[in-house]
Amino acid sequence: MDLRDKVTAIIAEQAMLEPGEVKPEHSPADLGIDSLGLVESIFAIEEAFDISVPFNANAPEESDFDISSVAAITDAVERLVQEQHASA
Protein backbone atom coordinates (compact mmCIF):
# COMPACT_ATOMS: atom_id res chain seq x y z
CA MET A 1 0.00 0.00 0.00
CA ASP A 2 1.52 3.35 -0.97
CA LEU A 3 1.34 6.48 1.14
CA ARG A 4 -1.70 7.83 -0.68
CA ASP A 5 -3.68 4.63 -0.16
CA LYS A 6 -2.65 4.41 3.46
CA VAL A 7 -3.79 7.99 4.23
CA THR A 8 -7.05 7.36 2.37
CA ALA A 9 -7.62 4.17 4.33
CA ILE A 10 -7.11 5.97 7.65
CA ILE A 11 -9.54 8.73 6.69
CA ALA A 12 -12.07 6.23 5.32
CA GLU A 13 -11.96 4.25 8.53
CA GLN A 14 -12.63 7.39 10.54
CA ALA A 15 -15.53 8.31 8.24
CA MET A 16 -16.84 4.73 8.35
CA LEU A 17 -16.69 4.53 4.54
CA GLU A 18 -15.01 2.22 2.03
CA PRO A 19 -11.66 3.65 0.81
CA GLY A 20 -13.13 3.75 -2.71
CA GLU A 21 -15.76 6.22 -1.56
CA VAL A 22 -13.15 8.75 -0.36
CA LYS A 23 -12.10 11.15 -3.16
CA PRO A 24 -9.03 13.44 -3.12
CA GLU A 25 -11.21 16.55 -3.33
CA HIS A 26 -13.30 15.64 -0.27
CA SER A 27 -12.86 17.77 2.83
CA PRO A 28 -13.06 16.09 6.26
CA ALA A 29 -16.45 17.79 6.76
CA ASP A 30 -17.71 16.36 3.42
CA LEU A 31 -16.96 12.93 4.85
CA GLY A 32 -18.75 13.67 8.11
CA ILE A 33 -15.53 13.89 10.15
CA ASP A 34 -15.90 16.37 13.04
CA SER A 35 -13.14 18.04 15.04
CA LEU A 36 -12.71 15.09 17.39
CA GLY A 37 -12.63 12.71 14.41
CA LEU A 38 -9.97 14.87 12.81
CA VAL A 39 -7.79 14.75 15.94
CA GLU A 40 -8.18 10.97 15.92
CA SER A 41 -7.25 10.73 12.22
CA ILE A 42 -4.13 12.78 12.81
CA PHE A 43 -3.15 10.54 15.69
CA ALA A 44 -3.60 7.50 13.41
CA ILE A 45 -1.47 9.16 10.72
CA GLU A 46 1.28 9.92 13.24
CA GLU A 47 1.29 6.31 14.39
CA ALA A 48 1.18 4.84 10.87
CA PHE A 49 4.02 6.96 9.46
CA ASP A 50 6.00 7.53 12.65
CA ILE A 51 5.83 11.29 12.23
CA SER A 52 4.77 14.23 14.36
CA VAL A 53 2.02 16.37 12.82
CA PRO A 54 1.89 20.05 13.81
CA PHE A 55 -1.82 20.44 14.46
CA ASN A 56 -3.67 22.55 17.02
CA ALA A 57 -7.38 21.81 17.23
CA ASN A 58 -8.02 25.38 18.37
CA ALA A 59 -7.00 26.83 15.05
CA PRO A 60 -6.79 24.04 12.47
CA GLU A 61 -6.63 26.53 9.62
CA GLU A 62 -3.55 28.18 11.16
CA SER A 63 -1.68 24.97 11.81
CA ASP A 64 1.25 24.22 9.56
CA PHE A 65 -0.67 21.25 8.21
CA ASP A 66 -3.27 21.69 5.47
CA ILE A 67 -6.43 19.72 6.24
CA SER A 68 -8.68 21.29 3.62
CA SER A 69 -9.00 18.10 1.56
CA VAL A 70 -7.85 14.50 1.41
CA ALA A 71 -5.36 15.48 -1.31
CA ALA A 72 -3.98 18.32 0.83
CA ILE A 73 -3.61 16.02 3.83
CA THR A 74 -1.81 13.43 1.70
CA ASP A 75 0.62 16.04 0.34
CA ALA A 76 1.29 17.32 3.82
CA VAL A 77 1.96 13.83 5.14
CA GLU A 78 4.32 13.17 2.24
CA ARG A 79 6.24 16.33 3.06
CA LEU A 80 6.43 15.50 6.77
CA VAL A 81 7.65 11.96 6.07
CA GLN A 82 10.41 13.36 3.86
CA GLU A 83 11.40 16.03 6.37
CA GLN A 84 11.27 13.90 9.47
CA HIS A 85 12.80 10.75 8.02
CA ALA A 86 15.40 12.43 5.84
CA SER A 87 17.92 12.77 8.64
CA ALA A 88 17.38 9.19 9.84
What is the contact surface with another protein in residues (CB under 8 A)?
A: 34-36, 39, 42-43, 52, 55-59
Ramachandran angles phi, psi of 35, nearest 5°: -65, -40
Q: 23 or 35: whose CB is closer to another protein? A: 35
Shortest reach from residue 42's CB to another protein, in Å: 7
Q: 31 or 67: whose CB is closer to another protein? A: 67
Q: 42 or 70: whose CB is closer to another protein? A: 42
